[in-house]
Amino acid sequence: MSKFALPLMGLGGAAGGYMIFGKGDKAPEEESFRSRYSHAILQDNDGLWATKLTTLKGEGSPVHQKLIDAKAKAADAEQQAKSLLIEGCREIYDSKLSGSLHENDFKSYCSRTIKDGIQGTWITESHTVTGSNTNKWNQKLTSLKDHNEESGKVLDSKLKELKGQLSGGASSTNWDDTKRNVTLHKRRYLWEKQIPEFWIPNLIA
């Protein structure tokens, strides 16, 4: 048997275990961070890099080597650290999304989040402030309870579930850790082109 025939054995049999592409065919491209999260990608001159570097310099625990190097240099050579951060993020942008070890790096240091993309003052006060009229969290919870989706502003599944738990009683619109966490984690979502309109104002003071 010709040695050139060996690699071809089995390609056409056994339930068609392999696909042979014709001369003009192309294998489907694997999804990258850039193609999946195109609206969350930061340009080289984006002003958010300084914020991302601060996050990295603080409690950041990156996996990508260039981000590790950027963190190490951030205290003494900030400009060099910023360049390394941008280079590392560029490499992550163009890398394969499926099975990536750099998903957390991308979300934490390389992308635009809801919090980054929305103009306004985010609620930062404690949710334990006394009084429903002074606690901004409670005011937003009351707004959620009274929200009518016929207005065209649709709730996402988590907020819809939370809205269903709110009754007419005053205690149901007092914030607690569980209710707060349902919406607080939203600000860490990656910035997408289509974003539900209502739950973002729920986090704005």
Residue written as tokens 């205690």? 171
> Is 160's pLDDT higher than 60?
yes
Residue written as tokens 């907020």? 159
Q: Quickly state the pLDDT bin for 166 (edges 50, 70, 90).
A: confident
Which element (helix H / strand E) includes 33? helix 33-36
Please give the Cα distance from 161 to 72 (Å, whole number): 43
**Which amino acid does the sequence have at 56?**
L
Q: Quickly state the pLDDT bin for 4 (edges 50, 70, 90).
A: very low
User: Measured between alpha carbons, how far is residue 159 from residues 116, 120, 163, 167, 182 in Å?
Assistant: 21, 20, 6, 14, 7
How distant is the alpha carbon of residue 97 from its chain centre?
A: 13
Q: Are 64 and 87 in contact (CB under 8 A)?
A: no
* Of 196 and 174, more confident: 174
Position 39 scores a pLDDT of 85
Q: Quickly state the pLDDT bin for 13 (edges 50, 70, 90).
A: very low
Q: Are 110 and 87 in contact (CB under 8 A)?
A: no
Question: In the chain, count of helices (H) and strands (E)?
Answer: 9, 0
> Is 34's pLDDT higher than 90?
yes
Position 122 scores a pLDDT of 62
Please give the Cα distance from 52 to 82 (Å, whole number): 9
> Is 10's pLDDT higher than 50?
no
Residue written as tokens 């390389």? 110
Please give the Cα distance from 166 to 169 (Å, whole number): 8
Condensed to tens digits (0 to 9), the pLDDT of residues 141-157 reads 777 777 777 776 677 67
Condensed to tens digits (0 to 9), the pLDDT of residues 174-192 reads 556 666 555 555 555 565 5
Q: What angle do CA 55, 123, 135 make, to 5 degrees?
A: 145
Largest CA distance in the chain: 87
**Which amino acid does the sequence have at 98?**
S
Q: Are 119 and 137 in contact (CB under 8 A)?
A: no
> Is 22's pLDDT higher than 60?
no
Work out the percent of the chain whose per-residue pLDDT is above 70.
54
* The dihedral sign for the CA sequence 117, 120, 125, 130: negative
Lowest mean per-residue pLDDT among 47-51, 55-59, 113-117, 131-135: 131-135
Angle of the 136-145 helix axis to the 157-164 helix axis, nearest 10: 90
Condensed to tens digits (0 to 9), the pLDDT of residues 61-101 reads 999 999 999 999 999 999 999 999 999 999 999 999 999 99
Position 6 scores a pLDDT of 41
